[in-house]
Structure 1
Amino acid sequence: MNVENVLLEVARASILNEFNNSFKIDKQELQKEFSILQEKRACFVTITLNGKLRGCVGSLVAHRNLLDDVIQNAYNSAFSDLRFARLSYEEFKQINIEISVLTPAVKLEYKDTDDLKEKIKPFEHGIILECENKKATFLPQVWEQLPNFDDFFTQLSKKAGFSDSCLSLNPTIYTYTAIKIK
């Protein structure tokens, strides 16, 4: 079994444990077999049901090992994403899980919106936007739904709490990439 399959099984087990707490994850054995699981890494766990978002929670900054980050974010995606009701067992049986393991975010220096457009790589970069004490992120795969630069940044700005795009305010922008596992 490869590490990608292990991570998906661990995410599923983390959620299943809420419904059947006899299911256990042998963290020591897994970390012994796959050393990457011991590394401090940040990830997001996205749950979809019938092709629609059903939960997405993650870490932008690595603050625990990858195994624990997947376990916690999978659980929180299913039961603590405030946009959705807690996942039911009936839904659990039908969900798809995707894990995005993030690279560390890097601050992007830019002069203006045109310069930013030149430096952003759609479909590759995840974006963290910070402006006026507000912050939001979109994973790289969000480009699939919002491939237009202006639409992408307008929706990201709205996610951060602005009524429209905040690019005219020269927000701080960080980029990262993600390894998608599904």
Structure 2
Amino acid sequence: MKKLFIMLAVFAGSLSTPQLYAQETPETTKDNDGPNFSKLDVSPMDVALFRGENNEPVARVLYSRPQTRDREIFGKLIPYGEVWRTGANEATEITLYQDMMVGDKTIKKGTYTLFTIPKEKEWTIILNNSTNIWGAYDYHVEKDVARITVPVRKSPVPIDALSMSFAKSNDGANLFIGWDDRYVKVPFKETM
């Protein structure tokens, strides 16, 4: 009987809800010299990097990745015919580690802002000298270094978060920019 009582007590104790405590991060410390960690951004920052033959970096894109979250993206959230930062938060930046051709223009190695003007059937891709800016509020057309127009393509699968990736091409690399149900391909060619 004593064994039965002990077993019932152990069983009853296991039915009670355990108390779990998570470590909380303080927003600030009393003397304000400690860490102030923020929550995860709803449009987290990401990077796409293309490496060449000897594993050296050729091009890199630094961008924030907004999510669709059941929103109508192109033509509504991202209006057609307007300059877009090509992401969220800070404007998207592309760094070229060597001179590259974009369209018929040679672009010197360096960092540029990657703006776009989405339309239903085509996008205008813009490389601009303004850097370290928020959104497209400081966009100035006179600082454009290159503009090309590329066709919009239908994605075979939905793309929930804005995504960018590079793929090797015969004469350089293609930058793919995709979100929702579409994507564009931006060719970057090596200079001769």
Rg (Cα) greater in structure: 2
Query: Which category of TM-score, normalised to the shorter sequence, fits these structures?
Result: under 0.3
Which has a greater percent of strand?
A: 2
Query: TM-score with structure 1 length normalisation?
Result: 0.25
Higher relative contact order (CA 8 A, sep 6+): 1
Normalised by the length of structure 2, the TM-score is 0.24
